[in-house]
Structure 1
Amino acid sequence: MARGGSPRASEVLAERIRAAAKAQGSSRLVVLIDGHSGAGKTTLATELAYTLKAQHVALDAFYPGWGGLEVGSAMVRGVLDPDNPGYRRWDWKRNQPAEFHKVNGKRDIVIEGSGSLSRANRDLATFALWIRLDQVERKRRAIARDGATYHEHWDRWAAQEQAFFARERPDTLADAIMDGRTGQVVFRADLPPTS
């Protein structure tokens, strides 16, 4: 993230997220973080949840297997359900649904994962962030993190991401875009209006 005496990206983001929620009159922060696999979503979400003192939910916990990006995206609405917020964990070893995880519907929350930022999910959030990073570095990071198991599924998962991102365009729904290599964040509100 940011170096030298500069505030970390998570601290700068936290300030902007709180300001956005206040401007919207929201009493609860709901932050969505999206980007391709290996872009740095989990790292940022962990830091941001800590800074905001918020819950952190990763879609990795409930994607229903290697073909489940679309289903995982739709499950975000269940995490934010006002009556019974939570999700059913996916048991990756058994390849089947596991126990239900309740989420505190009153506490601030950071939700991250490929597919978290769809048009439908954006309507439920106070702030959305897109992380961009080139494919070579993303693949290097993802394989270093998850090893050979992920390597054999990389192309299948990448194809799902491409289809989802082409349809939903989460980069255009985001309030901010972060460079996954440098940690530099550009806020859409700071950009000059386009004609």
Structure 2
Amino acid sequence: MSSAPSRSNPLPRAIEDAVDTVLGLVVPGMVIVVDGRSGAGKTTFAREVLRRWPADVDVEPVALDDLYPGWDGLVAGSAYAYARVLAPRLERRAATWQRWDWNADRYGDVRACPPERAVILEGSGALTPASAALSSVRVWLDAPASVRRERALARDGETYRPHWERWARQEDEHVARHDPRALATHIVELA
């Protein structure tokens, strides 16, 4: 698949194609997990899926950026998402979780999601064997490190720059431990 942006749409073709594929699989109550390293296009992908999501199917977007407890929190945020967002679905219970307040350095407002609502869980560390067992669609996005770094720093600027290496080490550990690419049902490669 080509990853060059089309002339009529600024999205890379690979993301457009993957969004089309995922939208063809939509059913009520489904779980979509989107993972990849920082700057790979996870949020772009999830936003485009949500933008084009069928109006007759309820969906709850959950971004791990809202769950990580700080810059050293990739593992904790992933575990929290599983325990509070995904695991309750096993018992057909509503999921409840708190969003991380980065300014106050603590959990803040409470969110809830009924079990019949579809969920899109997106973020680095989202795709593990545990989350894979509870999701029907699993997307891994990838791009060369230089491209990812450029995209991430363009997006988050100086706020993220001092944390890039620190966060990348956590992503490396996640990839080595869980091999999310191998768990994915769909792989999106960007150039």
Please give the TM-score of this superposition, normalised by the length of structure 1: 0.82
Query: Quick one: distance in 2 between partners of 1:145 and 1:45?
Result: 16
Taking only aligned residues, the RMSD between alpha carbons, in angstroms, comes to: 2.0
Query: Quick one: distance in 1 between partners of 2:22 and 2:69?
Result: 30
Query: Quick one: distance in 2 between partners of 1:160 and 1:8?
Result: 28
1:151 aligns with 2:152: no
Alignment deviations for residues 131-182 of structure 1 (CA, whole Å, 9 cap, x no partner): 010110101111111111100001110000001111100000000100134x
- Which of 10, 16, 25 pairs up with 1:8? 16
Following TM superposition, where does structure 1 have runs of at least 4 consecutive aligned residues deviating by more than 4 angstroms? 4-7
Conserved in 1, the CA contact under 8 Å of 2:95 and 2:112? yes
Residue 55 and residue 180 in structure 1: after superposition, are their counterparts in 2 closer, same or farther (change >3 A)?
farther
- Which of 44, 68, 84 pairs up with 1:63? 68
Query: Quick one: distance in 2 between partners of 1:172 and 1:154?
Result: 25
State the percentage of identical aligned residues: 36
1:32 aligns with 2:33: yes
**1:48 to partner: Cα distance:** 1.0
- Listed as ranges, the gaps of 5+ residues in structure 1 are 22-26, 182-195
Please give the TM-score of this superposition, normalised by the length of structure 2: 0.83
Query: Quick one: distance in 2 between partners of 1:180 and 1:34?
Result: 14
Q: What's the counterpart of residue 186 of structure 1? A: none
Q: Secondary structure at the residue paired with 1:28? A: coil
Query: Quick one: distance in 1 between partners of 2:169 and 2:101?
Result: 23
Query: Quick one: distance in 2 between partners of 1:55 and 1:48?
Result: 12
Query: Quick one: distance in 2 between partners of 1:128 and 1:52?
Result: 17
Q: 1:91-130 counterparts in 2 under 5 A?
A: 91-130=101-140
Query: Quick one: distance in 2 between partners of 1:57 and 1:140?
Result: 25
Conserved in 2, the CA contact under 8 Å of 1:49 and 1:55? no
